[in-house]
Structure 1
Amino acid sequence: MAEPNSEISPNLQRSKRFAALALVIAVLIWLALMVAAKLLPEYVWLIHILMLSAEAGVVGGLADWYAITVLFRNPFGKMPIPKFLRDHTEIIPRNKARIAESMGRFVQENFLSPQVVEKSLANTDLSLAFGQWLATPQNNLQITQLIQQSAPKIFEFIGQDQIGKFIQTNSVQWVKNTEINHLASEMLRAVLENDFHQDVLQRGLDVAHEWMLKNPEKIQEISKRLFKEMGVWKLAKGASWIGIDVQQRSIDSLIERIEAMLSDPEHPWRNHIEEFGQQLMLELADKNSHASTKLNDTKNALLESPQVLNFISGAVVILCNAIKDDLEKPNSGIAQNIRIAIQQVGESIISNQAVRELLNDKMSSVAINLSDQYSEKVIRFISEKIHEWDSSEMIDKIENEVGGDLHMIRVNGVVVGAFIGLGLGLIRAFVDYAF
């Protein structure tokens, strides 16, 4: 059980002093006026008016003191008092359970219900505020500095070797357990449907054609080596004795075929590539096909190779060291790129209304779902925490928060009571004088 909080806030202490001082002053004035009534009988009518004002101030101060005190504790202590009086003391501690439930329900109904969350988010452009925050140089600099300071420490704490082993143990195993034929099929579908392969082929043919024209000596050397590997070099060399340059004709024929493919989008070879891609995509979509089985078997064979596993671990260590060393530099290139990327993301969010609407819808859906799923748990947590409070601790918490204003009511009770008493005294004096 938690110990009571013995610290009293300065505001509460000040209010208690003012209230006590106001009550003491009212009592002293009342006593002084009783003495003055005996010493100055000729002014007794005026003294009685003022005495009534002081009495009302004392009564008002004491009444408010009692009303405030019974909220938190029993002012009678162990004195024998009627049950109806005792039952209406220590109001807050006695009703702790009801207060806990009421506070939890209040939070739920006014802050966490899906309807309230949806209404609040409907009038708020969260993505715009987020984009503006990211686009602010001071903010993206802080994020970058946090990454720059934290990442090297994380690498040091965990260790690059441990990271490499973790990736080797978990990621490699995950890839082993994953049949990648379907993923490859979908990637190939995206390439074919967007004609990306045609663009790649066109650019590749352009590069190859330009290189062959600019490097005839190297083409000659490559074709000579190829002929030797195929075992037809001597035959080609013999043909050159009778005026037939097989090597150059082969090179010219290849260049002509490349130029034909470049100039004709419907070239048969292009169509063959297209048909091969379509056929491969369909085969990879079937996990039982020969292409899928071969792809998965090749993947598993690579991942079971000690050389591949050692390469993965070593590459991770090298990559982690490179990132760590770069981030530790004052003019880190990685940190600068991260900051630029954050800035660009923020600016893109600000400028793209469609993206903002999409983000707002997604964030609103997530917030509404969370409020629907977890609001009851939050309310239960609040109620349970209040139930767990010691009564003395609960009194201290509430009194420290609102006790200052409550005890100022005692001051008001003295002052207001005094003015009411003064008014009543004037009325009585007028009646006595008139009649």
Structure 2
Amino acid sequence: MSQQLKENGTLEDYKARQLKKHKTLATCCLVFMAAVYLLMVFLMKKEPAGWMGYVSAFAEAGVVGALADWFAVTALFHHPMGLKIPHTNLIERKKNTIGNNLGGFVVDNFLTPMALRPYFEKLDVATMAGGYLAIERNREQMLQEAMKMAKELLEKTDDQAAARFLKNKGRDLLETVNLGPTLGSALDLLLSQGQDQRLLNYLLEKLKYYIAGNEELVKERVKKKAAFWCRVLLITCWPIVLPLGLPIISMRFTRHLITRLDKK
């Protein structure tokens, strides 16, 4: 068939030629049966013989069957000979109803959970997927398709909309997740296993590398924050510092005054 398509044109052309060929064959058979029937009728009147009755009945049945089939098939899709006979052209007039009924029949009888469950129970998806991905060519193809889909998705995604989405979802996740008990349990586990010192050393090591790699940034941040925290410390602690500082200031002032008088 593929060779015929290459030689003779498109699939639609091939179907049209095949339909025409079968119609011609069916018409020739009908004409042949009709000719045999008429010949037998003529011969039976001229020189009757016993076998002619059988041939005549055979030819008559062929003609009647061919006409019945032609009318039935034509009546399903068209009005025979253009005559709008009742119960003809059924497919064209009721194609939507027929389609709905056929779809409902398939769904109700073949796509029910009870009908599909045995087939799904026989499927070993993990084994099938593992066998498929065990072949290197399939893995490469899957990776290429995944990268292609991801690239298309990123190209079609609005950056601002994606940023807003991730920000909102991240905030919602942080609000819903209670990290306190989780971190507490993790610290208890580390303490019980004696791993707290290793964790502290690890964090200090990472902090050292961070400060060494961002020395200028750390210095700038410390300068900006140092004055603020000094003011906070003075405002917070002045009730304690002032009583302790007054005697010291008085003693220094008295000593300075005595020194000046001795010089005079």
TM-score, length basis structure 1 = 0.36
| Secondary structure, aligned partner of 1:118 | helix
1:325 maps to none
Alignment partners' CA distance in 2, 1:179 and 1:64: 74
User: What amino acid sits opposite 1:143 in the alignment?
Assistant: M
Aligned partner of 1:27 in structure 2 is 34
Distance, in Å, in 1 between the alignment partners of 2:67 and 2:167 is 79
Give the distance between the partners of 1:196 and 1:167, measured in 2 at CA: 41
Residues 1:70 and 1:197: Cα distance change in structure 2 (over 3 Å): farther
RMSD: 4.0
The alignment partner of 1:89 has SS state of coil
Question: Judging changes above 3 Å, is the alpha-carbon distance between structure 1 residues 68 and 78 closer, same or farther for their aligned structure 2 residues?
Answer: closer
- What's the counterpart of residue 183 of structure 1? 178
- Pair 180,42 (structure 1): closer, same or farther in 2 beyond 3 Å: closer
- 1:230-277 Cα shifts (integer Å, max 9, x gaps): xxxxxxxxxxxxxxxxxxxxxxxxxxxxxxxxxxxxxxxxxxxxxxxx
**Do residues 63 (structure 1) and 58 (structure 2) align?**
no
**Conservation of the 8 A alpha-carbon contact between 1:72 and 1:91:** yes
SS for the counterpart of 1:88 is coil
Contact between 2:76 and 2:88, CA under 8 Å: does it hold in 1?
Answer: yes
Match in the other structure for 2:167 = 172
User: Hey, what's the Cα distance between the residues in 2 that align with 1:16 and 1:196?
Assistant: 90
Aligned with 1:78 (options 63, 79, 83): 83
Out of 42, 56, 59, the residue aligned to residue 54 of structure 1 is: 59
**Are 1:201 and 2:174 matched, yes or no?**
no
Deviation at 1:142, TM superposition (A): 0.7
Alpha carbons of structure 1 residues 23 and 192: separation in structure 2 relative to 1, 3 Å? farther
Q: CA deviation at 1:124?
A: 2.5
CA deviation map 1:266-317 (0-9, x unaligned): xxxxxxxxxxxxxxxxxxxxxxxxxxxxxxxxxxxxxxxxxxxxxxxxxxxx
Q: From the superposition, tell whether residues 137 and 110 of structure 1 become closer, same or farther in structure 2 (CA, over 3 Å).
A: farther
Aligned counterpart, 1:143: 142
Cα 1:95–1:111, aligned 2, differ >3 Å: closer, same or farther?
same
- Asked if residue 89 in structure 1 is aligned to residue 96 in structure 2, the reply is no
CA distance in 2: counterparts of 1:26 and 1:172, whole angstroms = 82
Change (3 A) 1:75 1:180: closer
After superposition, give the CA deviation of every residue in 1:68-115 in whole Å (9 maximum; x if it has no partner): 222223325337xxxxxx433334345445423421321221333333
Q: What is the alpha-carbon distance in structure 2 between the residues aligned to residue 8 and residue 153 of structure 1?
A: 39
Q: Letter of the aligned partner of 2:60 in structure 1?
A: E
Give the secondary-structure state (helix, strand or coil) at the position aligned to 2:82.
coil
How many residue pairs match? The answer is 192
**1:99 and 2:104 are equivalent in the alignment:** no
CA contact (8 A) 2:79 2:88 kept: yes
Amino acid at match of 1:57: G
Q: Is 1:130 the counterpart of 2:137 in the alignment?
A: no
Q: Distance in 2 between matches of 1:138 and 1:51?
A: 68
Distance 1:88 1:153 in 2: 54
Structure 1 residue aligned with 2:23: 16
The one-letter code of the counterpart of 1:185 is G
Structure 2 residue aligned with 1:343: none
The 1:8–1:186 alpha-carbon spacing in structure 2 relative to 1, beyond 3 Å, is: farther
Matching residue's letter, 1:17: T
Per-residue deviation, residues 200-244 of structure 1 (Å, max 9, x unmatched): 535457889xx9xxxxxxxxxxxxxxxxxxxxxxxxxxxxxxxxx
Paired with 1:112 and 1:70, the residues of 2 have a C-alpha distance of 32
CA displacement at 1:23 relative to structure 2:
0.9
How do 1:220-231 residues align onto structure 2 when only pairs under 5 Å count?
Answer: none
The CA distance in 2 between the partners of 1:118 and 1:194, in whole Å, is 45
Displacement of 1:198 after TM fit? 4.1
Q: Which runs of 5+ in 2 are unaligned?
A: 1-11, 206-264
Q: Provide the rounded CA distance (Å) in 2 between the counterparts of 1:64 and 1:181.
A: 72
Paired residues of 2:44 and 2:52 also in contact (CA < 8 A): yes
**TM-score normalised to structure 2 length:** 0.54
- The answer (yes or no) to whether the contact 1:191–1:197 under 8 Å persists in 2 is no
The offset of 1:22, in angstroms, is: 1.5
Residue 282 of structure 1 is matched in structure 2 by none
- Measure the CA separation in 1 of the matches of 2:87 and 2:176: 76
Q: 1:54 and 1:75 mapped to 2: Cα distance?
A: 24
Asked if structure 1 preserves the Cα contact closer than 8 Å seen for 2:190 and 2:196, the reply is no
